[in-house]
Amino acid sequence: MELKNYQQSPTEVAREYQVDITSGLTTDEVKHRQAKYGINTLSEQKNTTLIQKFIGQFKDLMIIVLLVAALVAAFAGEGVDTLIILLVVVLNAIFGVFQEAKAEQAITALKTMSAPQAHVIREGKTHLVPASELVPGDIVLLEAGDIVPADLRLIQSASLRIDEAMLTGESIPVEKDINALTSDDLPLGDRTNLAFMNSNVTYGRGQGIVIGIGMTTEVGQIATMLTQAKVNETPLQANLRHLGKTLTWLILIIAVVVFIVGMLNHQHTWIDMLLVAIALAVAAIPEGLPAIVTITLALGTTRMAKQQALIRKLPAVETLGATEVIGSDKTGTLTQNKMTIEKYYVTNKIFDSQSPLNVDAQMLADVMALNNDTKLIDNQLVGDPTETALISFNQKHTRNLTQLFEQHKRVAEIPFDSERKLMTTVNEFNDEYLITVKGAPDQLLDRVTQILIDGHVVPLTHEIKNNILEQNHLLATQALRVLAFAYQKSPVIPAELTSQAVENDLIFVGLVGMIDPERPEVKAAVADAKAAGIKPLMITGDHRDTAAAIAMRLGILTADDHDAIITGAQLDQLDEATFMQKVEQYVVYARVAPEHKVRIVKAWQAKGKVVAMTGDGVNDAPALKNADIGIAMGITGTEVSKGAADMVLADDNFATIISAVKEGRKVFANIQKAIQYLLSANLGEVLTLFIMTLMGWSILAPVHILWINLVTDTLPAIALGVEPAEKQVMHRQPRGRLANFLSNGVQGAIVYQGFLEGILTLGVYWIAITFPIHANDALAHADALTMAYVTLGLLQLVHAFSTKSVYQSIFTIGVFKNKFFNWSILIAGILLSATVFIPGLNGLFHVTPLDTIQWATILVAAFLMVAIVEIVKFGQRHFANKI
């Protein structure tokens, strides 16, 4: 079996890539390899033109329905309706083009992260060359502050540490070495002899042979996954597509039937019946629905933005409300991405980091600060995360570090070495010199002979040493990274600054246990998510024990979840069928690679779940793009993750997601209310016209139907989109992928309420022609049509109040809480009644003034509409309680 580069020695890798480690490649060989392998850049997905994007927006079925409605309205001579519909279509297309163009920036952002230049050895000399010119086999030099320009197999390492959080999710820089690794299929975070493109060198220096450039690097594979990621249809888009398709066929069938029945009655000319059929089609099509959905979503994005949740794609607002699973990265999302000392051990005891410092702890803090390379730049600590944590500990205890550094200046040091795992400094200390040492507990304890206890130096007995080892183990089992500290005093600066000469006969002072702690608000957010029926997952590149500890502290993992943790290596051993069977038992995924995250998302989606994925690193981008809703971090997130996401958290606050979910549920409920209102109203209009045609009665004119639609289908429906959330909205189970706008009783409500509107309208018409006020048949029929017209419009307006909730009474949810809704109903009512009261308009609309009795009849019908719906709701609530 062919060995992988991390399994080979530096000599074997150099032989494979045909390069001399000392002199590097020749100029001619570089040119030959550039011609063979190409340039070291990430290829971009071929983007469509703006015109192609614009044309593509018109493939949506609801948009086609709107265009048909515009054609019908134009044929009926309704120019205003035609213009409004076309305006909605064009605005929707423009917005869609904008969103699609923004989504294509993910790969571009990934490309711009690449290192612009690299130090390389060629023909025995060091050259500074554009990173894009690197080829496999080049010898690259690395030092602190560099961005790794390509994937490298390290051949030299001097205290080299590289921050790979953006790729692996590990919260602390990785210590690198050059030794060959024997294990097969190691996760990225454990390939300690490799350096990956776009990661950051935080400490030390090194050299490496280029083993991957451009799209063959680990980052390049992520870019490939981004280009291949399928864009999932959101639940909102699926619902609108299905609804539009259903309505299209129903409208066509009903219009044809009405036309045929009207012609068979021989009471109207074919031109009159064609106009009636057209008016019926316009009445049946909820032409304002896409606009109302867009406006409701846009208003939702505005409210979310105020809560620090920035929506990049409108459908994401509604998708949030359907979320059933949230897969969250750990580092920087659930945790603070900032190493912090949590406990310290001195005087044979473990203390919380907030505990006051006794005399031994003060000495420990001094050693922490002096044995440290952290710099303070613009009031920001800059350096290795572990070392900045040591300085932060001192700052939290309000220690005067400036005075400490001035009094005890560093005069010599022995840098950290990954083999001995120690770092030593020599500092001035009164008339002596203080030698401070920090490092791995097991390594340091072998060099200790004494210990500081209560300010006194005493011999390190076997019993005390065992106690230290036990405390070290106790801290480690809590997933804390443990460092040990010791010191020694010397009258002179050591003449020989070597480990053998200096790091011996040390005085042990203490241990510190540090961790990347959880965000303080996340635990409550996780509890809220569970209460809302949402399953939170932790998906991280960090170690199993660390992930498990954080998950336990956040409530994602419980003590009974013995089989709920799985690593990337274990996941690789599961075939798809087995993983699908077990996916619901796992809540913590540790040491995973980018392809694992995508696999997890797809497995839950295959279960029919709506999946949200959070993250901030480049390694999260493919999963963010494949998820139903990708959520990126705004502060710590890379531009790549933001470009692939549907939503960006401006405050990097996991709790903001839960607020956004609540808003998403409210948005869906409000769209449902608008649909219930529109479709029940349209059904009432269709039923009225259909029965009038069957009965051979005078039929409402197209102008009546179109005006009712104009005044009742716009402002009231939009106002329903800003209804406040109903109580207990976050204590309901997620509606999931299979739910639609007609579920949860909405379809039944549309049918019976639409029939009720039609029956009441027809009833008023029947009363008017059966008990006419005028003896003249023409005037009687004119009065009857006027009463039917006003009744149909008024019923829709009063019914809008009932649609504020499918089951709850309008008196318990608050009739007049929504001021915008109240004004919209008032304005629509004025516009409707104006056609009857204003002399110039009633002639234009073919209506007649009504007397008191006629108005009383209409108002009784409106009262019955509200009363009957309330009675039905009461019965539904009572029946549900009995069940």
Alpha helix locations (H) across 564-714?
A: 568-572, 576-582, 594-606, 621-626, 639-644, 654-695, 702-712
| Residue pair 160/181 in contact by the 8 Å Cβ criterion | no
267 shares a domain with 407:
no
469, 634, 623: which is closest to 539 by C-alpha? 623
Residue 350 lies in a domain: no
According to the model, what pLDDT value does residue 340 have? 93
Q: For 125-133, which contacts have Cβ atoms below 8 Å and span 24 or more sequence positions?
A: 131/40, 132/39, 132/40, 132/41, 133/30, 133/34, 133/39, 133/40
Which of these is catalytic: 81, 146, 151, 329? 329
546 shares a domain with 487:
no
pTM of the model: 0.66
359 shares a domain with 294:
no
Q: Which residues of 44-70 are buried (b: 16+ CB within 10 A; e: fewer)?
A: eeeeeeeeebbeebeebbbbebbebbb
776 shares a domain with 730:
yes
403 shares a domain with 325:
no
751 shares a domain with 830:
yes
Residue 279 lies in a domain: yes
| Distance of alpha carbon 192 from alpha carbon 460, whole angstroms | 35
Burial class of residue 723, CB neighbours in 10 A (0-12, 13-18, 19+): buried
277 shares a domain with 129:
no
CB atoms within 10 A of CB 463: 7
According to the model, what pLDDT value does residue 85 have? 57
CB atoms within 10 A of CB 285: 25
Structural domain of residue 76, as residue ranges?
Answer: 50-103
Is 329 in the active site?
yes
According to the model, what pLDDT value does residue 714 have? 74
pLDDT digits (tens, 9 = 90+) for 223-263: 676 665 555 555 565 666 666 667 667 777 777 877 787 77
Domain boundary (165, 199, 228) is at 228
CATH number assigned to the domain comprising residue 10: 2.70.150.10
| Distance of alpha carbon 871 from alpha carbon 276, whole angstroms | 35
572 shares a domain with 541:
yes
CATH number assigned to the domain comprising residue 526: 3.40.50.1000
Residue 456 lies in a domain: yes
721 shares a domain with 599:
no
735 shares a domain with 707:
yes
Domain boundary (462, 491, 510) is at 510
According to the model, what pLDDT value does residue 237 have? 59
E strand or H helix that includes residue 95: helix 79-103
According to the model, what pLDDT value does residue 31 have? 93
126 shares a domain with 192:
yes
Residue 762 lies in a domain: yes
Instruction: Provide the domain count of the chain.
Output: 5
pLDDT digits (tens, 9 = 90+) for 261-300: 777 776 566 666 666 666 666 666 665 666 677 777 777 7
The DSSP result for 335-371, as a single string, is B-SS-EEEEEEETTEEEETTSPP-HHHHHHHHHHHHS
Stretches in the chain below the pLDDT threshold 50: 1, 99, 102-103, 105-115, 882-883
According to the model, what pLDDT value does residue 493 have? 92
678 shares a domain with 589:
no
According to the model, what pLDDT value does residue 73 have? 58
